């Protein structure tokens, strides 16, 4: 492993705003962020108080907790934390050296309403209590285009069922992607399972969307991968929807048939998944 990575791994171990595979956190995020804001260090996770109610709707002193999944360097988690001091933001990613970037910026700027968890998203149920999360952003996840990997797409019903276990009822999910295939797949899931689609555009920075009443300052936050244009689509796609229904398992087979029928174009992201080197500079 490179020297730079080792330095970053060592640094995040000392950061109070990075937790690596933390144990026993469900219900404790309110207490954790209060300590982070007061700089009441070191934060001992074992002694954090568990909130009786996690939902801001039930307890006004609860700040909404918003997740950024596959956060990488955490541009959304940090950018949203700057915009919304009255909410708390948590970036999740498996790569500690990427998380280091966002956590370092937050430390430098003194932003106390953002933190990071190093973990597999598949394990996220271990970290949150029922209704503890208000909203989820999924930013430029790997599109997992191969049919055999479809279940790894972060908007696959299997993941949506996972999120539903800790999202507040009707909780909103945002997806930003440069992959037209992932965008269409997600729209298909929303339609097939009868979820509520709030916004969808295949060109979030296009004049029509920018000038529409749907535009929102949050969409202007740019991530590292966003700038790479890996899918070569030259367009950023955005979807906002609610997970407001039980996702029936008996639809999964229909979805499988539908995605098998998708013609996946050989874009850069498909090539990258086949291991063909693509220029990401
Ligand atoms: C294409 S990058 C996007 C990063 C960032 N959101 C951006 O736009 O720059 C995808 C990120 O997802 C993370 N990732 C992929 N699968 C994951 C998983 N199962 N659990 C946690 N992180 C994962 C990777 O480590 C990587 O940082």
213 is a catalytic site residue = no
**Which residue has the least CA distance to atom 15 on ligand 1?**
70
Span 196-229, pLDDT tens digits: 999 999 999 999 999 999 999 999 999 999 988 7
Average pLDDT of span 72-87:
98
Return the residue whose CA atom lies nearest to atom 3 of ligand 1. Answer: 140
- From the list 40, 46, 93, 142, the catalytic residue is 142
Residue showing tokens 């596959």 = 70
Give the model's pLDDT for residue 14. 97
% of the chain exceeding 70 in pLDDT: 90
| Nearest Cα to Cα of residue 226 among 186, 280, 148, 266 | 280
Q: Above 50 in pLDDT, residue 279?
A: no
Give the model confidence (pLDDT) of 118-140 as tens digits. Answer: 999 999 999 999 999 999 999 99
If we measure between CA atoms, which residue out of 102, 92, 97, 88 comes closest to residue 122? 92
pLDDT > 50? residue 246: yes
Name the residue with higher pLDDT: 141 or 270: 141
Protein residue whose Cα sits closest to atom 20 of ligand 1: 120
What is the CATH code for 3-273? Answer: 3.40.50.150
- E strands, the chain, are 18-20, 65-69, 88-93, 114-118, 133-139, 167-177, 196-201, 237-242
Question: Within 13 A of 55's CA, how many CA atoms are on the CB side?
Answer: 10
CA of residue 59 to ligand 1 center, whole Å: 33
Going from N- to C-terminal start, the domains of the chain cover 3-273
Is the model's pLDDT at 191 over the cut of 50? Answer: yes
The answer, as to whether pTM is greater than 0.75, is: yes
Average pLDDT, the chain: 92
């Amino acid at each position: 492993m490179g020297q730079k990575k080792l330095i970053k791994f060592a640094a995040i171990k000392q950061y109070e705003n990075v937790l690596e595979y933390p144990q026993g956190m469900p219900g404790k995020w309110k207490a954790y962020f209060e300590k982070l804001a007061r700089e009441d260090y070191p934060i001992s996770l074992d002694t954090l108080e568990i909130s009786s109610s996690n939902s801001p709707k039930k307890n006004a002193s609860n700040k909404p907790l918003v997740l950024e999944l596959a956060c990488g360097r955490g541009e959304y988690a940090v950018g949203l934390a700057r915009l919304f001091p009255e909410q708390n933001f948590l970036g999740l990613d498996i790569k500690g050296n990427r998380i280091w970037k966002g956590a370092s910026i937050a430390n430098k700027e003194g932003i106390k309403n953002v933190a990071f968890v190093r973990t597999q998203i598949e394990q996220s149920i271990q970290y949150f209590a029922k209704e503890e999360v208000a909203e989820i952003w999924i930013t430029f996840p790997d599109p997992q285009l191969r049919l055999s990997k479809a279940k790894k797409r972060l908007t696959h019903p299997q993941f949506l069922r996972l999120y539903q276990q800790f999202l507040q009822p009707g909780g909103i999910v945002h997806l930003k992607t440069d992959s037209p295939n992932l965008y269409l797949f997600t729209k298909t899931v929303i339609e097939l399972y009868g979820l509520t689609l709030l916004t969808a555009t295949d060109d979030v920075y296009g004049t029509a969307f920018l000038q529409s009443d749907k535009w929102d300052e949050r969409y202007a936050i740019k991530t590292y991968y966003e700038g790479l244009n890996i899918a070569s689509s030259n367009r950023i796609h955005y979807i906002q929807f609610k997970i407001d229904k039980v996702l029936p398992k008996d639809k999964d087979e229909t979805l499988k048939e539908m995605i098998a029928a998708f013609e996946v174009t050989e874009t850069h992201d498909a090539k990258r998944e086949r291991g063909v080197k693509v220029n990401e500079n």
